[in-house]
């Protein structure tokens, strides 16, 4: 079984902001795989279904970004599955806009949602799919930037990145993370050449 956690903030005010790209990806995965996100538990909204014949839970924590780990820990304790089977989808300001990066594990960097998950699970050994959301202007506050919405032009490119992220998650579940890293990390590098 796999748990796919999309990070974001609950509520209409945060809908479609840069920080909620994880929620957007969960919605697309749910749509692509006929999974209804209609259950409430684990301080989250979630849905259960199958991707590539494997049972999955698609999870959107409702604890707000900085406390994402509380929701993930609840689910982790309940299902007692390996940390390696928890896939986290997260926004990233340190990779090129509209690209994705698949990682087996790693540090949180500057991301408070990842910091919370690492702290509560007491592990950084979970896979993550990072989506480049752009970089703030020099004088701009980071919180203001990540809570801003995409421009019309940016939205076109970010929709492609959300699809790539969903495809990467499906690849991890159907095959393995190495295949996802080979396929999707190189795709991002080609875009930079």
Residue 129: which of 155, 168, 93, 96 has the closest Cα?
168
Which 3 state secondary structure label does DSSP give 102?
strand
- Residues 6+ away with beta carbon under 8 Å from 122: none
**Alpha-carbon distance values, 167 to 3, 163, 164 (Å):** 15, 6, 5
- Active site residue: 19, 111, 120, 124, which one? 19
Q: What are the strands, taking DSSP E only, across 8-126?
A: 39-41, 44-51, 54-61, 86-92, 100-103
- State yes or no: is 19 an active-site residue: yes
Q: Are strands 128-132 and 100-103 parallel, antiparallel or unpaired?
A: antiparallel
By annotation, the residues acting in catalysis are 19
């Amino acid at each position: 079984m796999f748990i796919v956690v999309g990070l974001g903030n609950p509520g209409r005010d945060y809908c479609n902001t840069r920080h909620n790209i994880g929620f957007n990806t969960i919605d697309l995965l749910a749509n692509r795989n006929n999974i209804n996100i209609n259950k409430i538990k684990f301080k989250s909204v979630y849905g259960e279904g199958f991707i590539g014949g494997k049972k999955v839970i698609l999870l959107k924590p409702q604890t707000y970004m900085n406390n994402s780990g509380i929701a993930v820990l609840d689910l982790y304790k309940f299902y007692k599955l390996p940390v390696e089977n928890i896939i986290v989808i997260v926004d990233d300001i340190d990779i090129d806009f509209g690209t994705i990066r698949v990682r087996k594990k790693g540090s949180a960097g500057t991301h408070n949602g990842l910091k919370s998950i690492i702290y509560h699970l007491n592990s950084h050994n979970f896979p993550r799919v990072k989506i480049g959301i752009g970089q703030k202007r020099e004088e701009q506050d980071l919180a203001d930037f990540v809570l801003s919405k995409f421009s019309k032009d940016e939205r076109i490119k970010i929709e492609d990145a959300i699809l790539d992220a969903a495809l990467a998650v499906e690849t991890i579940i159907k095959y393995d993370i190495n295949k996802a890293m080979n396929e999707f990390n190189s795709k991002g590098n080609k875009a930079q050449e």
